[in-house]
Amino acid sequence: MDLLGHRLLFVTGKGGVGKSTVAAALALAAARRGLRTLLVEMDTRSMLAEVFGTGAVGAVPVELRAGVEAVDLEPDHVAEDFLRTHLRFERVWRPILESRVWHTFYEAAPGLKELLCLGKVYRLEEEVRRYSRVRRWDLLVVDAPATGHAMGLLNVSRVASRILVGPLRRFAQRITDLVTDPERTAACIVTLAEEMPVNETLELHGRLTGKLGLKVACVILNALVRPALEGEARDRFETLRQGDVLRRGLEGALGGGPATALLDCTEAQLAREALQARYARRLRRRLRVPSVEVPWLAVPEWDLRAVEEVSHLLERGLGRVR
Ligand SMILES: Nc1ncnc2c1ncn2[C@@H]1O[C@H](COP(=O)(O)OP(=O)(O)OP(=O)(O)O)[C@@H](O)[C@H]1O
Ligand SMILES: [Mg+2]
């Protein structure tokens, strides 16, 4: 499966599971492949500036590194950009932007912020270079909001194309056409192999592929603990554990306290591995979507090196999925 071969990727999932990390990692992988990539953040306290050591990412695309630019679609800036683009002259748009009527409408109209943001993604996808007229970016990776908000965002153009009229209706329809075109657009759900994230992933997958008509190209199982003992070592551990041989040996070598602590630690790790395997199996059984695993990285600080490592692991994982 060529995930990076799309024009537009939405990375979503439950809060805190690693969406921003995966989105940034995919953008880095795309750049290594020579694709000019735009990473689109949405109203998040973006970790990009910190991780990439750039200044704050804002409404105007900034270069994170060769081949990767980033933009943050903070809704108020997007609204201003919308008025500016459509009304052109500051003496026209500025009074509207500062008027109470606009403010009240903007805050109260359901879905307006989402529509403006999704509309901005659409316009970024269409953006061309001034002289050559070729597309400015080969790939847009959208660090989409968590489940509920992502549904609101991805559903808004569909709803708008039913209730609006005239050019706005046609605009909403063109956005929906882009978002639901499986050749150009795919969603990617990030999850942990734990009960709540897996349940949410199953539900999100159903809603994205059902009512919304999006293609979910893959699920990223993030932060999986690596097996502490594998193969022969695991078998030997199990054998020694029987009949308390291990405990007695460790007590003899280390004393009672450290031996118990070590054994408890190992038991906890093995229990976690077993639980993780169970949820990963559950996910795979229920979803016919390729999954890619990213291990839990034991790093003292979540920095660019960690995101780069995730990027290489993802690239390898995606390469194995055909
Ligand atoms: N593979 C991993 N191994 C270890 N830690 C990880 C891994 N992936 C993510 N993390 C940790 O989880 C934190 C949250 O990740 P991230 O910001 O990408 O999540 P998110 O889903 O975007 O969160 P939010 O819903 O708040 O936007 C990271 O700062 C990092 O500390
Ligand atoms: Mg995030």
**What pLDDT is attached to residue 322?**
67
- Residue pLDDT, tens place only, 108-154: 777 888 998 999 999 999 999 888 889 999 999 999 999 989 999 99
pLDDT at residue 135 in the model: 92
Query: What's domain 3-227+288-320's superfamily in CATH?
Result: P-loop containing nucleotide triphosphate hydrolases (3.40.50.300)
What's the whole-number mean pLDDT along residues 242-251? 84
Ligand 1 atom 23 nearest Cα: 16
Q: Say which ligand is closest to the CA of 14.
A: 1
197 lines ligand 1 (CB under 6 A): no
Contacts of residue 85, defined as CB under 8 A and 6 or more positions apart, other chains included, come to: 123
- Give the ligand with the smallest distance to the CA of 302: 1
Q: What is the pLDDT of residues 70-106, one digit of tens each?
A: 999 988 888 888 777 777 778 777 877 787 877 777 7
Evaluate if residue 283 carries a pLDDT over 90: yes
Contact 202, 283 (CB under 8 A): yes
Q: What percent of the chain has pLDDT over 90?
A: 60
How does the average pLDDT of the chain come out, rounded?
90
Q: Does residue 302 have its Cβ closer than 6 Å to ligand 1? A: yes
Section 4-11 average pLDDT:
97
pTM of the model: 0.92
pLDDT in the model for residue 43: 65
Which of the four pLDDT bands, split at 50, 70 and 90, describes residue 245?
confident
Phi, psi of 217 (to 5 degrees): -80, -35
54/180: higher pLDDT: 180
Q: What pLDDT sits at residue 240?
A: 84
Q: Would you give the distance in Å from CA 282 to the centre of its chain? A: 21
Q: Which residue has the higher pLDDT, 50 or 212?
A: 212
User: Is beta strand 37-41 parallel, antiparallel or unpaired with respect to 291-295?
Assistant: unpaired
Using the atom order of ligand 1, give the atom closest to the CA of residue 143. Answer: 22
For ligand 1, the distance from its centroid to the CA atom of residue 207, given in whole angstroms, is 24
Question: What's the pLDDT band for 54 if we cut at 50, 70, 90?
Answer: confident
User: Are the C-beta atoms of residues 123 and 71 closer than 8 Å to each other?
Assistant: no
CA 146 – CA 59 distance, rounded (Å): 21
